[in-house]
C-alpha cells in the first residue's frame, strides 16, 4: 500500500469513527429526551387527576374547616409528586451524563495513546535533543491527565454528597408536611 493510500484510509477510518461517535451521542440524547418527555406527560396526567379530585372535594366541602382540610390534603400529594419528578429528571440527566462520559472517555484514552505514539515517533525521527522534548511533552500530557482525573473524582464526590443532602432534605420536607397536614386535618 502506498503512503498516500495509507493516509487516505486512515482519514476515512477516522471520519467513520467520528460519525459513529456522533451517532451514538445523538441516540443517547434522543433516548433521554424520550424518557424525560414520558416523565413529564405522566406528571401532568397525575397532576390533572389530583386537581380533579381536589376540585370535587372543594365542591363537596360545606364548611370553612372542610375547605381547609381539602387544601391541606392536597399539599402532600403535590409535594411528593414534584419531588418525585425532580428526582426522576435528575436520574435521567445523570444517566445521560454517565453514558456520554463513558463514550467520550474511551475516545479520550484512544487519543492519548495516539498522541503518545506520535510523540515517540517524533522523538525517534528528530536529531539529538528530540527525545528531551518528547519526554517533556509526555510529562505535560501525563500531568494534565492526572489533574483532569483528580478533578473528575473530586467533582463526582461533590455531586454525590450534594445529591445525598438534597434527598435527605426532600425526605425531611415531605415528612414535615405530612405531619403538619395530619395535625391540621
> Model confidence over 33-54: pLDDT tens digits?
999 999 999 999 999 999 999 9
Distance CA(97)–CA(28), nearest Å, equals: 10
Q: Which three cell numbers stand for residue 85?
A: 419528578
Q: Sorting pLDDT into bands at 50, 70 and 90, what band is 3?
A: low
Reduce the DSSP state of residue 61 to 3 states and report it.
Answer: coil
Percent of the chain with pLDDT over 70: 91
Cβ distance 28 to 99 under 8 Å? yes
| Mean per-residue pLDDT over the chain, rounded | 85
Instruction: Give residue limits of the domains in the chain.
Output: 3-184
Minimal CA–CA distance to 95: which of 42, 151, 148, 35? 35
Query: At residue 5, does pLDDT exceed 70?
Result: no
pLDDT at 35: 97
Name the packing angle between helices 130-184 and 64-124 (round to 10°). Answer: 170
| Cβ burial, residue 15 (10 Å; 0-12/13-18/19+) | exposed
Extended strands (E) in 27-169: none
Q: Which three cell numbers stand for residue 35?
A: 424518557
Query: At residue 28, does pLDDT exceed 60?
Result: yes
Amino acid at each position: 500500500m502506498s503512503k498516500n493510500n495509507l493516509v487516505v484510509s486512515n482519514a476515512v477510518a477516522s471520519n467513520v469513527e467520528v460519525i459513529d461517535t456522533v451517532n451514538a451521542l445523538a441516540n443517547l440524547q434522543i433516548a433521554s429526551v424520550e424518557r424525560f418527555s414520558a416523565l413529564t406527560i405522566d406528571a401532568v396526567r397525575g397532576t390533572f387527576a389530583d386537581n380533579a379530585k381536589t376540585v370535587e372535594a372543594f365542591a363537596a366541602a360545606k364548611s370553612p374547616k372542610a375547605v381547609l382540610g381539602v387544601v391541606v390534603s392536597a399539599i402532600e400529594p403535590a409535594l411528593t409528586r414534584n419531588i418525585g419528578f425532580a428526582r426522576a429528571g435528575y436520574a435521567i440527566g445523570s444517566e445521560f451524563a454517565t453514558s456520554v462520559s463513558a463514550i467520550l472517555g474511551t475516545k479520550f484514552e484512544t487519543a492519548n495513546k495516539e498522541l503518545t505514539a506520535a510523540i515517540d515517533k517524533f522523538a525517534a525521527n528528530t536529531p539529538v535533543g528530540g527525545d528531551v522534548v518528547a519526554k517533556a511533552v509526555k510529562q505535560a500530557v501525563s500531568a494534565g491527565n492526572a489533574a483532569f482525573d483528580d478533578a473528575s473524582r473530586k467533582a463526582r464526590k461533590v455531586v454525590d454528597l450534594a445529591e445525598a443532602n438534597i434527598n435527605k432534605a426532600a425526605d425531611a420536607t415531605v415528612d414535615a408536611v405530612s405531619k403538619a397536614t395530619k395535625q391540621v386535618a
